[in-house]
Chain A
């Protein structure tokens, strides 16, 4: 597995609380992504980053924000968590260039009560 870690791996929180998920890579890859995975929907892109401080929205970005202050770290923030944001969140990285392969992290299971 590529050098990708996610923290925390599991979290239970209450509606209305802020939550931050962290993705950390040791591969020095340029591109980083956040996906959510829900039954029947596959994986859906939330936000992505194409460099330090360079981010853009994906398919399901409402209610989420991201930040990337260092190449190795990509943070996903739920400003005010809702039950509809209960999901498994995966971070992915890619190098771009000659290969488009996206490597996924181990995932974070988030439950919003």
Chain B
């Protein structure tokens, strides 16, 4: 089955700096890669996703890049703000003909220091 490794497990940055979180996956057939943000005590919420036919996707201060050859994808947050502090999870899945079975990374605790 799929295996997703996520690094780093914790990340502290100064407000205004950029943050990068990296994930690698094992199943070359995976074709959908979402990123979720989870604030303390809250539910995970999708912030951005990318499919295997696209190399990069941006949404304001957030971008995701995908390297299919190397089987890794990364989340980039620019101009970080204190409200970006949360746990971020990457995930990967392949089309199975029915439901998408997401395999999640173990999470990155991002702290943005004022």
Contact = CB atoms under 8 A, between A and B. Distances in A.
Interface of A: 1, 31, 33, 40-45, 48-50, 56, 58-59, 90, 94, 96, 100-107
A48 B45 contact: no
A40 B106 contact: yes
Contact of A101 (B4, B49, B98): B49
- Give the most central of B4, B6, B91, B106: most A CB within 10 Å: B106
Contacts, number: 61
Interface string B95-109: 000111111111100
A100 B32 contact: yes
21 contacts: A31-B98, A42-B104, A42-B105, A42-B106, A42-B107, A43-B91, A43-B102, A48-B101, A49-B99, A50-B98, A90-B43, A94-B99, A94-B100, A100-B34, A100-B49, A101-B34, A102-B46, A104-B43, A104-B45, A106-B42, A106-B43
A101 B36 CA distance: 10
Interface string B75-114: 0000000000000010101000011111111110000000
B14 to A, nearest CB: 27
